[in-house]
């Protein structure tokens, strides 16, 4: 698969044909998946969110080489920021808000999402500033603690002022509305009924494509090369004149921004958020997506995110019926088997494909020569 991209880059016609086929496939996916139930459209929508999260974490882990186990905290910040600015709690707690917003605090998505992204980026800077000199295990421990601090803070911010409603979470969150189209309702589009799930899927798909384009531009920019230099040898990068402190902070901030946008979309999609959605296990899953696909390689990260987002749901709907058919009883529940397969997949990847399923090509090595050397070996 790695040889496909160089070939397409040298043949514009083939590249355009491949892009058209891919676009048609992505547009048709929800209609095909809908034939098997609306649950599969939800799975596709969440797969897009996980791709955004994985690409954001890839900036920190893959590009800059900074191990982050608390990335889901930025997801939580974006989600709660959207929820607070699009639901009743703040209006009920602060008497001055109803005077300014008589109809309730229902801010536009064009204000809420950028604000949530900016707040997530700020928290990325707050995390990055104290850990600039840390690497490896020490950095992982600190970022893990940061993620848990954010979750515990949200979980307990219901007294003396009830801001987040604690473990019960926030409800009555406004759905996304763009150009007068409310995404929580089915619309009629030239005689076709388009459900809210399909609308959200297309919105998340568009944001995912924008995220991919931004990440590709970042990778090829001076900033991306500075991240690569720091990842390979921080001392040499500093000797070359790279401002290591600022470059690291930018990695944390930009990665957090994508997490914040994905969190805002999650809150609007679910119309409910609670601390249980942002546990450590979610950070581990997003990191596993990056590692499985190929650290630092954008197409590989996308593949890893899709696999780990879709396959567990496939197991959820197939494993237990298969066990009932074969053994007459459920021996292993789908949730337990899913975690077992997560662990097994990571062990196999570390043993046989330590650079991921679709790793980044080695710098300065022609992909054809690289493949030939592997075959000869």
Distance separating alpha carbons of residues 228 and 246, to the nearest angstrom: 14
Strands 187-189 and 192-194, by their bridges, are antiparallel
Q: What is the pLDDT of residue 162?
A: 83
| Residue range 76-122, pLDDT digits in tens | 999 999 999 888 877 777 777 777 776 667 788 888 889 989 999 99
Q: What is the DSSP letter of 70?
A: -
Residue 297 near residue 359, CB atoms below 8 Å:
yes
CATH for 35-376 is 1.10.3470
Highest-confidence segment of 108-117, 173-182, 206-215, 234-243: 206-215
Calculate Rg over the CA atoms of the chain. Answer: 22
How far is it, in rounded angstroms, from Cα 81 to Cα 120? Answer: 9
Give the Å distances, CA to CA, from 116 to 1, 209, 261, 273, 337.
Answer: 37, 20, 7, 15, 36
Q: Which two tokens stand for residue 54?
A: 């994985």
pLDDT at residue 215 greater than cutoff 90: yes
The number of residues making up the chain comes to 377
Integer angstrom CA distances of residue 13 from 16, 17, 76, 182, 336 = 5, 6, 42, 38, 47
- Mean pLDDT on 303-319: 86
Q: Is 311 helix (H, G, I), strand (E, B) or coil?
A: helix
Contacts of 353 (CB under 8 A, 6+ apart): 359
Report helix angle 280-293 to 72-85, nearest 10.
120
The predicted-structure confidence for 168-197, as pLDDT tens digits, reads as follows 999 889 899 888 888 888 888 877 888 899
Alpha-carbon dihedral of residues 135, 136, 142, 143, nearest 10 degrees? 100
SS3 368: helix
């Amino acid at each position: 698969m790695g040889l496909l991209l160089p070939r397409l880059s040298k043949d514009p016609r083939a590249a355009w044909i491949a892009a058209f086929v891919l676009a048609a496939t992505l547009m048709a996916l929800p209609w095909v998946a809908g034939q098997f139930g609306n649950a599969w459209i939800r799975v596709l929508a969440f797969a897009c969110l996980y791709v955004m999260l994985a690409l954001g974490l890839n900036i920190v882990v893959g590009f800059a080489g900074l191990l982050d186990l608390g990335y889901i905290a930025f997801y939580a910040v974006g989600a709660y920021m959207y929820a607070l600015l699009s639901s009743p709690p703040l209006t009920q707690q602060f008497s001055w808000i109803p005077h300014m917003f008589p109809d309730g605090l229902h801010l536009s998505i064009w204000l809420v999402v950028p604000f949530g992204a900016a707040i997530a980026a700020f928290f990325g800077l707050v995390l990055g500033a104290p850990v600039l000199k840390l690497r490896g295990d020490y950095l992982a421990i600190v970022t893990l603690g940061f993620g848990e601090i954010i979750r515990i803070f949200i979980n307990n911010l219901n007294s003396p002022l009830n801001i987040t409603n604690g473990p019960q979470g926030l409800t009555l969150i406004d759905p996304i509305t763009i150009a007068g189209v409310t995404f929580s309702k089915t619309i009629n589009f030239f005689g076709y009924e388009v459900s809210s799930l399909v609308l959200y899927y297309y919105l998340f798909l568009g944001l995912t494509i924008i995220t991919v384009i931004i990440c590709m531009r970042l990778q090829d920019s001076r900033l991306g090369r500075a991240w690569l230099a720091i990842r390979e040898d921080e001392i040499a990068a500093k000797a070359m004149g790279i401002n290591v402190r600022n470059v690291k902070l930018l990695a944390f901030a930009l990665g957090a921004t994508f997490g914040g946008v994905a969190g805002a979309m999650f809150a609007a999609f679910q119309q409910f958020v609670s601390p249980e959605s942002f546990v450590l296990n979610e950070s581990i899953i997003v990191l596993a997506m990056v590692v499985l696909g190929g650290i630092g390689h954008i197409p590989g990260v996308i593949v890893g995110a899709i696999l780990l987002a879709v396959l567990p749901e496939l197991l959820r709907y197939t494993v237990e019926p298969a066990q009932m058919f074969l053994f007459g009883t459920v021996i292993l529940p789908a949730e337990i088997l899913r975690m077992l397969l997560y662990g097994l997949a990571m062990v196999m990847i570390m043993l046989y494909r330590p650079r991921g399923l679709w790793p980044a090509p080695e710098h300065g090595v022609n992909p054809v020569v690289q493949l030939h050397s592997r075959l000869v070996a």
